[in-house]
Structure 1
């Protein structure tokens, strides 16, 4: 398909991976490290369940293949890898004491007679207890680290030290900016009755959900109406529906460059100018009322 082919080349895919890998490391770094420990343990020592682990590794390889085949490296394209990585990470936690050189496998399987394994004071008789301690500390560290990352950012908001918009402004992914979305939803709720319709020309479908307003047409994104691999008839159908029932507000996005989705390097505002029928409908029935961030807000004139 034309959509997939957009970035299915070495240059574009490498550029996508350059950012995606760093972002994934920031969120999955601990899991990846522990999964690496688990993988090393599998390579160094034969496991009685090697057939099962082979299946899990195949699962991971398939997940990597699925992500690469789509050529975009979006966040959700990585999700098929998470379950096998979690299993490998859990295996890594159980093998940390052995790979750390403190114990041999036999020491950790069951307590035995006292025998020093390393120059340290560890002895095999207490090895099984130390193993449990290492694993518990590791798991607690992972959970604690994730908790700190979450609560350090959330605590000022929860205690009232900062307002909602300031807190939301920290969350941005590409063209999605959380505080803009919240302000846009507040604007609509103050002016439009719940259950009414709304038309968003762009790639911000969260506004429909958060505001409780219904999409005026069946497309919650504009890319099926601009990309050349979709039927042109959809554009005519959309304009006809909009003429039949005018939503109270229309939101037009700007600075939302999505060439890998739209097939164009223009933002939604510029793309609207190229859609003569839709642009004429907007100019005839609406007046620009306000702007919130990258949302250009058009209000129905009557």
Structure 2
């Protein structure tokens, strides 16, 4: 169990290094289980640590063998922290107000009442489980506060502890009602089914909708654009992305590269066209410190010079938490790219949210 816990914690750390804070759970579990059995505790914690290190080590080894270790360290431990620091302009009071507003939303408040208050019934009979549960929640809450960005998906890190807590509360309710009439004894089971439905129903519904759309596409009842547009609302401006992807697929060869300057690398994916640079997502070019932007932009321009893309897509309107602006502000922020566009490319199409440029033939200049 300790080794498996270590592997899972290693995977969680790979997902986001900040979540490495959860590695405090094995020591807490060991100490609460057998506080005086130091040999068993040391063995348990060491085995869990081995699982974490083996998982991380394998990941680092793959990057090292592929020549990407320096870039991995640079992005995860230098660039990302600099971006977080650059976005922490609001006061502590403002951050606390936003966090409180999120936590007081009806569904979040209900989850917390059931997931945190309920296990208190178990505090004596299941001290180990309850302590581990509360520790996991506290670590998740601390990591949430460190990020200082409270989007709905950031709260997902709290959900495992809350759902387990609700399960403990239902079990405790069952024990209280075990001598009661059968109708009352069914309440915890009905609650468990409701809890399961609450967690699985949205997922099952979405999967069934995606499957139905996929079958319609395979049967020819939906075009590629219509099928891709069914994902609208799950990403930025998906209808435009789908239409652009189809246009790119029809007007370029498979070996052509397409640069998407903005935050919508899904265009590359749906059109099955690679980016000419390693920057499929443009955060490092437009956010962060000037030192990082200068270094990454130099690498970016060198890649474009070595492998000029057939097409360049520029985001015309951006709804993003770290950068807000139009294609004008994006290009004005990066004069060298604007100059390259004006020199070597010509406008080809415009959607509601994107500009599309095609590489001009020799002697032809963009207008």
Does the 8 Å contact 1:35/1:86 carry over to 2? no
Q: TM-score, normalised by structure 2?
A: 0.61
Matches within 5 A, 1:1-302: 1-8=81-88, 9-10=90-91, 13=95, 17=99, 21=102, 29=107, 33-34=110-111, 36-44=113-121, 46-95=123-172, 105=176, 107-108=177-178, 124=180, 126=182, 130-131=186-187, 133-135=189-191, 137-139=193-195, 141-142=197-198, 146=202, 150=206, 164=227, 167-169=230-232, 171-172=233-234, 176-227=236-287, 228-256=290-318, 258=320, 261-262=322-323, 266-302=325-361
Compare CA radii of gyration and give the structure with the larger one: 1
Which residue does the alignment assign to 1:114?
A: none
Judging changes above 3 Å, is the alpha-carbon distance between structure 1 residues 16 and 272 closer, same or farther for their aligned structure 2 residues? farther
Render the CA deviation track for 1:193-226: whole Å, top value 9, x for unaligned: 2343111111112222222211111212223223
Does the 8 Å contact 1:36/1:92 carry over to 2? no
Structure 2 distance, partners of 1:86, 1:195, is: 48
Which residue does the alignment assign to 1:117?
A: none
Does the 8 Å contact 2:167/2:192 carry over to 1? no
Judging changes above 3 Å, is the alpha-carbon distance between structure 1 residues 35 and 195 closer, same or farther for their aligned structure 2 residues? farther
Which residue does the alignment assign to 2:41?
A: none
Does the 8 Å contact 1:35/1:92 carry over to 2? no
**Shift in Å at residue 91 of structure 1?**
2.4
Tell me which of the two structures has the higher relative contact order, counting C-alpha pairs closer than 8 angstroms and 6 or more residues apart.
1
Runs ≥4 in structure 1, deviation > 6 angstroms? 151-156, 158-162
**Shift in Å at residue 284 of structure 1?**
1.2
**Shift in Å at residue 233 of structure 1?**
2.9
Does the 8 Å contact 1:57/1:84 carry over to 2? yes
More helix by share: 2
Aligned length: 270
Structure 2 distance, partners of 1:126, 1:191, is: 68
Render the CA deviation track for 1:55-108: whole Å, top value 9, x for unaligned: 11111111111111112224443332222122113223435x56xxxxx71x41
Structure 2 distance, partners of 1:17, 1:183, is: 38
Structure 2 gaps of 5+ residues are: 1-80, 362-367
RMSD over aligned Cα atoms: 3.7
Q: Helix, strand or coil: the match of 1:230?
A: helix
Q: Helix, strand or coil: the match of 1:215?
A: coil
Q: Helix, strand or coil: the match of 1:283?
A: helix
Judging changes above 3 Å, is the alpha-carbon distance between structure 1 residues 137 and 72 closer, same or farther for their aligned structure 2 residues? closer
Render the CA deviation track for 1:16-52: whole Å, top value 9, x for unaligned: 6588x38x969xx3x8635522432323454411222
Does the 8 Å contact 2:245/2:270 carry over to 1? yes
Structure 1 distance, partners of 2:244, 2:97, is: 32
Range with greater deviation from structure 2 (41-50 or 230-239): 41-50
Q: TM-score, normalised by structure 1?
A: 0.72
